[in-house]
Structure 1
Amino acid sequence: MTSSPAHVLTDDELDLLELALGGAVPRLPFAEGPVTLTDTENTPLAEVGDDGSVSPVKPIAAALGPQWDERLRVPARDVSADVAPGTTAVWLAEAPTAEDVAAVARAAETGELLLLVPASRHTAPGTVGAAGLTRAALALAAETGNPRVVVVPYPHGSAARAGGASSGGPTAPADMAPAPSDIATAYGAERLLVPADERSPEARAALAALPDAHARAVAALYPAASAREVERAAAAGHSRGTVVFFTGLSGSGKSTVARALAAELDDDGLETTLLDGDAVRHHLSKGLGFDRESRETNVERIGYVASLVAKHGGIAVAAPIAPFAASRAKVRALAEATGARFLLVHISTPLEVCEARDRKGLYAKARAGEIPDFTGISSPYETPDDADLTIDTSEVSVEDAVTRVRAAI
């Protein structure tokens, strides 16, 4: 590690870092060295040198879902070493239609294929996310001679540049989004096929009409006055909101479980907002200290935002340390006052396990007196006696933990 300034990576920047470390892009357009790149938990992931070179420091955290399968999420340099000359890359930024499957099958008859799945860490509402695209790609491979499927980390904002015009959501700056053709080349392919670009006018029109299909069906079944009331009722009938609030020591695994839970709920098409402790500190509570009053203010801010999400039928997943019972009780009250479900999940992993896992060296610094008011060392953690669910991640896998939380909500 160096003493260079730190830069906290956004989701798009994390995707670009993963591409760079895998040899798919030559440099990072958002980082001029020297700089240390960290995730939202302030874990150093890479160093950027004066010449723009990128060196890994610690592994990028993986999550759940088929898009994180290490057999599929393979660095470009490793894939390109195995790709046959003349291979065509198929860019699957959308779930393939029947026409797309036929186009890929025709391409498979003329040479080797490589199915590339651009997988973002963010899923735009109403779209098929990385997990769904990966499952669809595996099914497509099974229908077309089993070409290799590779998951490519790819900034969400750039998805519309090739076959993802319906992706919606925020847009990454153009110079941050590597062209799919360049990605295909980095992974060893000589040609690029974007099935969505080959669709017939009839297929494009049918896809464009899908969002209004329900309204058209209602209009055909009801007279105008009744149709308006049916549409009004459907618009108002959102599901009851939910706040899932994780609490536990630093290093207990609460953020890992929270991220995995949010990803699964997103994949199910549920409106989910993740309020992770370090990310909130960086944005919502920037400037607050770590004394008791500041900690309680931070937790109550998280609780307030979570209650707003739940009030409108969404799911808020929060994962601060939240060491004090009083502030946790206020968060519960805020959520329940909106009519939302509230689930307090205590990640009860023992202190010694948390210390052994510490990626950032915080416990060692706290024991050396370099970090005051550190929960579990120089500041108390009040163990919940009102937890709706208690999970020790030293005994329970992330997958099983997510299953337990989902069952509880």
Structure 2
Amino acid sequence: MADGSTETGFAELLRELKNRSGHSYGTLAKQLHMSTSTLHRYCNGDAVPADYAPVERLARLCRATPGELVELHRRWVLADAGRGRRQPVREEPVREEPVPQEPVGGEVAVQEQEQEQEQDGRSRRRTRTVLLAALTVTALLGTAALALSLNHSSGGAGHDGKGAPPAAGTASVRHRAPTAGAAQGTDSARSATPSPASPPATGTPPPDKPSTSHTGPTPQDRTAAAPPLAVTTHPYAWPDPCSQHYLVDRAPADVSPPPPEQDAPAWVAVHKAVSAGEQYVTFTVQGTGSDTVVLEGLSVRMADRRAPLAWNDYAMGYPGVGCGGGVPTRSFTVALDALRPEAVPESGQRGFPFKVSRSDPEVFHVTADASAYDVSWYLELPWSSGTRHGTLRVDDGGRPFRTSGNNGRPAYAFPLGGEKWEPASGTH
């Protein structure tokens, strides 16, 4: 739907899902681990969540359809961007001028001392100004004398070549004033190896660079500018609360209970965990300028591939509670065990290209699975906009994603209402 306020559109859909679920604000807030007042503010449009994870969990609890999940994510992106543009206007504080007071007692001596210091400073500044002027006049007179000396020297040796040898300083100056031919040779040598920061001099291009007429920016200019795209990546998203597993090199007694999805990045960092079996990555692409940007494809790049980790496998969530979910649109699968992994659209869904702009972002979902290897990998997103083009890297905050096979690893689960990890049925 089109509405005048992105925040209102986001809150309306959130409120519609809540009302349709039949659950109270208190019931939903308890399951989402947030206060009832906070959930009220989200649904009334008084606030926008800083992270999308609790929004998605709320939508799944309200049994949102895959299409509604995608639309809710799109509206949240727009609402979050709109919140960043509305910065409150700061009022400059009123500066009160101090009220002058009559000097009392010892303050008279202090004021007289300050006046003397100020007069002394003005005197020193005048002295510096006079000295500067004198130095300038001296330099001008020296320049005039040098010019007369050069003229006299060149006149004495120009006709018969037998004039008196010039002074050492004059010879140095004459050496720095080359003839027209010498100057041309210097420019030619300079244009043969142009500085990367400046365009080459006009003339015949080098043999290995044919002459090309450019009506727009050069390739260097097009790639040097910042790309007209913004990408927000969630490397530890969960397709549903029970599907995600992590490998951790710790005994069950040293591993914290499963976190809610929004706390998964912190849990992973504390335990130095690695996604096990598969990794579910979502990323949002949005234009930053007025032009439409075409996303031309999605490539998978391998940074490293090793034997799978021999660590314990820990299942997230609580078995049997809120498990299961649909397949959202813009979903792709990646088989990391393949020799050349590719991002393949889910069955029945379209592939690239896609178009994005500031008001029309796209949300992509990538499920990468591994069983035989421990794989470090990342994604590349080629784009074009008019005469500009480039490639964006999608990764985990500057580091590759990491997914390891978990076949045969000891498996653990955390029962609902339990107090510790317990062995799951069988191993992976």
Name the TM-score, length of structure 1 as normaliser: 0.21
- Richer in strand (by share): 2
- Richer in helix (by share): 1
- Structure showing greater radius of gyration is 2
